[in-house]
Amino acid sequence: MQEQLKIALIQTDLVWENPKKNRKQLKEKIESISKTVDVIILPEMFSTGFTMNAKEVAETMDGKTVAWMKKRALKTNAAIVGSLIISEGETYYNRLLFVEPSGDIQVYDKRHTFTLAGEDKVFTAGSKKLIVEFKGWKICPLVCYDLRFPVWARNIEDYDVLLYVANWPKPRIFAWDSLLKARAIENMCYCIGINRVGLDEAQNEFCGHSATFDVLGNEIIAFKPNREQVGVVTLEKNHINYYRNKLKFLNDKDNFTLLP
């Protein structure tokens, strides 16, 4: 088990519905990381931007972008994390992939599809929460709109890290900032949010605000708004253990059952 987990966060603009160009620019950003890291996190729908044109741009699990993630993970010896549009027959998913250097892949299909943009009419919602065990750390990866729903994220698995990949628009960025901090505090975990920047085809503006919060809700890394940026944050297992053992807030959490 590693006492530290080093995570690289990539806050970037995305080229609309162009997986080839997005893979190219993200490859360059990944190669710019000078430190040795354990995990590299990309935004939501990193290969296309947040598009509802799933039929035109969806890939399969045997497609070029998944192969690219496996190649990057092997070359960097770090897990690569991000979501993309995956098709299984005529069904489409906003699917987060956690790709390990070994080539092993764990998947999470976005539970809360974004009804305001009609995502629920195009994509099938997931029903299973994913807890990744990686290098002695338990990581719960979620996607964008999931951030608004604390019951789904509730730390009943004793995970260490909660992470969100997102295309979260500028007009509601205050909610992004506030809810990331809240998820860290209530779950006594590190909470990481990776958001894109730039304009999409529909002129939706994204301003980033990628950040990492510790168990107490202190911001330990914050990206400048409206700028592409790559940063590395070091998470400490001792920090989690110290405050959980001292404060014991998770011992008093409510028991509940999620209904279908």
Active-site residue list: 44, 110, 144
Positive or negative: CA dihedral 35, 37, 41, 47: positive
How many residues does this entry show for the chain?
260
- Tokens of residue 178, six digits: 């506030």
Please state, as a whole number, how many other Cβ atoms lie within 10 Å of the Cβ of residue 201.
11
Number of H helices, E strands in the chain: 7, 14
Q: d(Cα 95, Cα 52) in Å, to the nearest integer?
A: 14
Q: Judge whether 7 and 38 are in contact, CB under 8 Å.
A: yes
- Give the chain's radius of gyration (CA, Å): 17
Comparing CA positions, the residue from 133, 129, 195 lying closest to residue 161 is 133
Amino acid letter for position 30? I
Which of 154, 72, 141 shows the shortest CA–CA distance to 107? 141
Both tokens of 33, joined, read 């990381």
